[in-house]
Amino acid sequence: MKSLNTRGHRSAGRILALSAFLFAWPMGAKAQWAVIYLNPSKASSSVATGVADGQQVGRATVGGIGRASLWRGSAGTWVDLQPAEWASSVASGVGGGQQVGYVIDGAGVHHASLWTGSAGSWVDLHPAGAGHSLATGVDGGLQVGYVVDVIDGVNVFRAGLWYGTAGTWVNLHPNWATESRAMGVGGGHVAGFVVDDAGVLHASLWTDTAGSWVWVDLHPAVEGVSLSSAHDVGGDQVVGYAKVDGYFHAGLWNRTADSWVWVDLHPPGVNESSGVLAVDGGEQVGIVYNNDPYHAALWRGTPDSYVDLHAFLSRDFEDSLASGIWHDAKYTYVVGYGYNTKRQRQEALMWRAEYSTPAPPAETGAIEGRVFAPNGSAVKGALVTATDPAGNQWETTSAGKQGSYTLTELPAGVYTVEGIKDGVGYAVLDGVQVIAGETTSGVDLHLLPY
């Protein structure tokens, strides 16, 4: 083993970053996620709802008015899409240089809306005779959403789509359904849900077949599933959630030949609910609830691939949600929002990562040792991680009763081992050698106050 260099102090930022990692670093995730804060300087709050083609959309509250918003990668690029003389507005989807959402008039009527980069480009998509209308997604010049009519005092929701103007509205609502909504669009498919006469939500897909939109029932034929909903579609994947044994489970449907196969993405160990809101390039994003706080989440097609994106935010953020994802040639971009407890407001966020999956190691080894407090006593519950020279955190664990820990399944190489215990201290050891098939012992961490 190389000589060990023990350093008891690091910057507060490094310690916070380590704490975030140790809180919930996902299995197999080697991405380093940077967080870009999109809240405009004039805004009292904001949310980001969608991302595509280098643009992000959402809502920012400025002067007490919620305004449909467009960004191009930073808070300073914020564009106010709010049309003049309307009470408020929201942008909910983006694609191909178009933004969609809705505006609200002084009487509270919602009008589905389309923009192409500025407030002056606004197009009213509200179909003639509709009570309310909202646009939720856009792709390839096709806008989707739903209308709301009041019939005998009851709101009736009907899924539909547009081709750029109010007069092109196409009703997708099945005649037998009591309610339907279109939530996302991609590649000639529209994702959403319908409600049957028993009140059960069915995840749904509408497919353009020879100029006719054909409805497909995606409701999983799985024991314990009481309802389901689809929220987005990309490539050969549809994403959403299903209620399983009383809890919402994030999930996706993979296209196989002429069928769609349900995959339950609910992360192992999560006691409450989860859901997927968007998909792109084989990655899915959404939300995970676990013991009350909700966290922005990312998956790569399996429950074990779950990434807690909240772990990359500062401790000022109490909760977070991911609502959109897009890839360019270099990066993965995820947008959403979080609640900042210090500023007491929601703030639009964007996570960005240059992602690569390391090749699986042919042979691995382990590291073991103990963690000690400044007074020499063993530290139970200290969190320990091993990081390779490229900055990839490979393994994390919690020290046992005697302060003992073991880090396993580490590819042969040199690692930095770090430990932290809130209220006790922090330590780091450089140059820890791991040999395939062997355990490197005696790697003790002596915490110093920080």
Q: How confident is the model at residue 12, as a pLDDT?
A: 29
One-letter amino acid of 70: L
Quote the percentage of the chain above a pLDDT of 70: 91
Ranges in the chain annotated CATH 2.60.40.10: 6-25+362-446
Q: What is the overall mean pLDDT for the chain? A: 88
Q: Name the pTM for this structure.
A: 0.74
Residue with tokens 């990081």: 387
Radius of gyration, alpha carbons of the chain: 25
Please provide the CATH number assigned to the domain covering 34-353.
2.130.10.120
Q: Average pLDDT in the 7-17 region?
A: 29
Between 96 and 155, the more confident residue is 96
Top mean pLDDT of 188-202, 400-414, 433-447 is at 188-202
pLDDT band at 10 (very low <50, low <70, confident <90, very high): very low
pLDDT digits (tens, 9 = 90+) for 350-404: 999 985 443 444 478 889 999 999 999 999 989 999 988 877 777 888 888 789 9
> Do 97 and 115 contact (CB within 8 A), yes or no?
no
User: Which two tokens mark 169?
Assistant: 């509205």
Residue 413, token pair as written in the block: 């190489």
How far is residue 252's CA from residue 233's CA, in Å, rounded to a whole number? 9
Give the per-residue pLDDT at 15: 29
Average pLDDT of the residues in 1-26: 31
pLDDT of residue 396: 83
- Looking at CATH, the fold of the domain delimited by 6-25+362-446 is given as Immunoglobulin-like (2.60.40)
Distance CA 379, CA 324 (A): 41
Q: Where residue 411 falls among pLDDT bands split at 50, 70, 90?
A: confident
Q: Which pLDDT score, from 0 to 100, does residue 291 have?
A: 75
Give how far the C-alpha of residue 178 lies from the chain's centroid of Cα atoms, to the nearest Å.
Answer: 30
- DSSP secondary structure letters along 316-345: TEEEEEEEEEEE-SS-EEEEEEEEETTTTE
As annotated, the residues of the chain forming the CATH 2.130.10.120 domain(s) are 34-353
E strands, 266-389, where? 274-280, 283-289, 294-299, 307-308, 317-327, 332-340, 345-353, 364-372, 383-387
Joined together, the tokens standing for residue 150 give 């009041």
Residue range 167-212, pLDDT digits in tens: 999 999 999 999 999 999 998 999 999 999 999 999 999 998 877 8
What per-residue confidence (pLDDT) applies to 94? Answer: 98
Q: What pLDDT shows up at residue 360?
A: 42
For residue 159 the two structure tokens come to 């899924």
- How far apart CA 260 and CA 379 sit, in angstroms, is 50
DSSP three-state, residue 73: coil
Q: In whole angstroms, what is the distance from residue 190 CA to residue 262 CA?
A: 17
The DSSP code for 313 is: S
**Which of 230, 239, 331, 218 has its CA nearest to residue 284?**
239
